[in-house]
Amino acid sequence: MSFSLAGNAMDVLWDIVVSVGRGIEQVLVYVETHHWIFGFLVIGYVFYLHDRALHARFDALDKRIDEIRKRLAVEY
């Protein structure tokens, strides 16, 4: 009797492993067939990061220009 319980426990464990494997397989199939969606997301994120970096540079440049103007105003 204890052998059948151990066998049932292993069957349940194996069913769980197989279910997880099938779920992962379905996710990979979806990504494989819809890779262009993820490509658009990546391209959009790259442009977002580039835009942030560009605006940060312009903000830093504006601060430096303001500082130079203040210094020139004090000298004269």
DSSP helix/strand/coil, 1: coil
Taking CA atoms, 3 is separated from 10, 27, 28, 58, in Å, by 11, 36, 37, 73
Q: Which residue has the higher pLDDT, 40 or 6?
A: 40
Q: What is the pLDDT of residues 36-45, one digit of tens each?
A: 888 899 999 9
Q: pTM for the whole thing?
A: 0.48
Instruction: Share the mean pLDDT of the chain.
Output: 87
CB 31 within 8 A of CB 38: yes
Look at residue 5 in the predicted model and tell me its pLDDT: 54
Per-residue pLDDT at 9: 82
